[in-house]
Amino acid sequence: MDRDIMINWINEGNVSIPFRLISEYRKIGLSESEVMLLIQIHSFIERGNLFPPPQLLASRMTQCEKECLQMLQSLMKRGFIELQERSDENNIYYEVFTLTPLWDKLIVMSCEEKQQEIVVSKQDEERSLYQLFEGEFGRPLSPMEFELITMWLDQEHYSPSLIKAALMEAVVSGKRNLRYIDRILIEWNKNGVKTVQQAKEYGEKFRQHQYKNVSSPQKNEPKKKIPSYNWLDN
Contact yes or no for 105/34 (Cβ under 8 A): no
What pLDDT tens digit does each residue of the chain (234 aa) get?
577 777 787 777 788 999 999 999 999 999 999 999 999 999 999 999 999 999 999 999 999 999 999 999 999 999 999 999 999 899 999 999 999 999 999 999 999 999 999 999 988 998 999 999 999 999 999 999 999 999 999 999 999 999 999 999 899 888 889 999 999 999 999 999 988 899 888 877 776 766 666 555 555 555 555 444 444 344
Map out the domains of the chain with their CATH numbers: 2-99 (1.10.10.10), 141-233 (1.10.10.630)
Cβ-Cβ contacts under 8 Å for 38 (sequence gap 6 or more): 21, 30, 75, 80, 81, 99, 102
Q: Round to whole Å and give the CA distance between 172 and 160.
A: 18
